[in-house]
């Protein structure tokens, strides 16, 4: 915006958003003091925009090269330095009620996040570091990342996602990423024990290295002198027992939530939510689908697998139910065939004897 509004109020347009600015003057003997404050109209518009879209930041390593300073260094270029920067984007927010968790789990973590965001003065008055840590562990595809993304949209917080698969990420770069996050934000250390991820958060195996990251420097970001206040730090992993035990001691992660394969209640709830627009017999179909799905052992049981199946039959919930019935039928035939094969082998062995 260029220029300054006159006394009173005026509206300006900046990046397709309306800001109402108020300007007042208070004359004193020494100087003229000017105040600009964002009006309630602009704040409300920002709040609504924040709930519709979630700002997601992903790190990017920018590598700078320098030419050799002398002929003795060779003809090739050499790396001078690498820096990590956040690359922002906007994604449509995901409603929190679309994340199906065991009864009470979603409400519990929502209340915990809300209480933390409203309690900064409480932390300060007691001399406590104003931060909150959440450890989410369990099978892939069970909703860990989806929950964090939905929480960011629900509370209108920017989300910063750190993945440890970049070999160029070093202590200085990781600290820089943390320092350049907004105060009221969510930092997600995603899938820290996934194949290819740096081993800094895991118990090291013989011969294993953490590369450019050190354990002590990384852990100090969580509750050390270099930690950042006002952030909600989420760490997701598959196997909590494989993590460095110093990582999960009290004070580093306040809430630990386990994500198992969905049970019948979750499956039924997800079916009913996904096909809610069809009404009618959807609840009864959801109950039958959940009963059948609980006995399927021909695929990994996860919310992601259910989503794939539902998307394949998004225009007809009955087709989704029939698909599950077919899988159960195929599973029974497979078991029967396997039993007959084993009996046949035993009969041949007895005849040969």
The DSSP string of 70-103 is SGGG-SS-EEEEEEEEEEEEEEEPPPGGGS--ST
> What is the distance between the alpha carbons of residues 180 and 184, in angstroms, rounded to a whole number?
12
Domains of the chain from N-terminus onward: 8-38 (no CATH), 52-65+79-259 (3.40.50.300), 264-352 (no CATH)
What is the chain's alpha carbon radius of gyration, rounded to the nearest angstrom?
A: 27
Q: Are 231 and 123 contacting, i.e. CB atoms less than 8 angstroms apart?
A: no
Would you give per-residue pLDDT tens digits along the chain (353 residues)?
A: 455 555 554 444 444 444 455 555 554 545 444 444 444 444 444 444 446 899 999 998 876 665 555 555 555 555 555 678 899 999 999 999 999 998 899 999 999 999 999 999 999 999 998 999 999 999 888 999 999 999 999 999 999 999 888 888 889 899 999 999 999 999 999 999 988 888 888 888 887 888 888 888 888 888 777 889 999 999 999 999 989 888 777 778 899 999 988 888 999 999 999 999 998 899 999 999 998 888 776 555 788 888 999 999 999 999 999 998 888 877 655 544 444 455 555 555 555 55
Q: Which residues contact 54 (CB under 8 A, 6 or more apart)?
A: 90, 91, 92, 93, 94, 149, 152, 153, 158, 159
Are 200 and 206 spatial neighbours (Cβ–Cβ below 8 Å)? no
Read off φ and ψ for residue 180, nearest 5 degrees: -95, 15
What's residue 225's pLDDT? 78
Quick one: pLDDT at residue 86?
Answer: 94
Indicate the pTM of the whole model.
0.75
What is the rounded distance in angstroms from the CA atom of residue 94 to the CA atom of residue 152? 9
Plot region of 74 (φ>0 → left; ψ -120 to 50 → alpha; else → beta): left
- Angle (CA) 189-116-124 rounded to 5° is 110
């Amino acid at each position: 915006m260029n220029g300054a509004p006159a006394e009173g109020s005026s509206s300006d347009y900046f990046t397709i958003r309306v800001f109402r600015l108020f300007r007042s003057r208070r004359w004193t003997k020494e100087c003229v003091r000017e105040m600009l404050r964002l009006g309630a109209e602009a704040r409300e518009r920002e709040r609504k925009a924040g709930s519709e879209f979630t700002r997601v930041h992903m790190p990017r390593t920018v590598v700078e090269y320098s030419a050799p300073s002398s002929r003795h260094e060779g003809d090739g270029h050499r790396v001078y330095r690498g820096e990590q920067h956040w690359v922002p984007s906007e994604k449509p927010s995901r409603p929190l009620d679309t994340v199906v968790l065991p009864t009470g789990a979603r409400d519990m973590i929502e209340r915990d996040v809300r209480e933390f965001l409203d309690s900064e003065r409480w932390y300060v008055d007691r001399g406590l570091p104003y931060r909150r840590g959440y450890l989410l562990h369990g099978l892939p595809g069970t909703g860990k990342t989806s929950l964090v993304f939905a929480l960011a949209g629900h509370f209108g917080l920017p989300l910063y996602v750190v993945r440890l698969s970049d070999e160029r990420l070093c202590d200085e770069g990781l600290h820089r990423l943390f320092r350049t996050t907004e105060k009221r934000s969510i930092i997600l250390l995603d899938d820290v024990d996934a194949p290819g991820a740096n081993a800094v958060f895991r118990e090291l195996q013989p011969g294993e290295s953490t590369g450019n990251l050190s354990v002590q420097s990384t852990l100090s970001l969580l509750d050390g002198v270099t930690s950042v206040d006002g952030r909600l730090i989420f760490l997701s992993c598959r196997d909590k027992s494989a993590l460095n035990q110093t990582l999960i001691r009290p004070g580093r992660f306040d809430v630990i939530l386990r994500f198992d394969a969905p049970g019948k209640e979750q499956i039924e709830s997800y079916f009913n939510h996904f096909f809610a627009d069809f009404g009618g017999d959807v609840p009864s179909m959801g109950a039958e689908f959940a009963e059948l799905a609980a006995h399927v052992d021909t695929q990994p049981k996860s919310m992601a697998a259910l989503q794939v199946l539902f998307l394949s039959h998004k225009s007809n919930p009955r087709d989704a139910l029939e698909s599950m019935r077919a899988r159960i039928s195929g599973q029974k035939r497979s078991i029967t065939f396997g039993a007959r094969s084993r009996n046949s082998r035993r009969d041949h062995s007895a005849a040969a004897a």
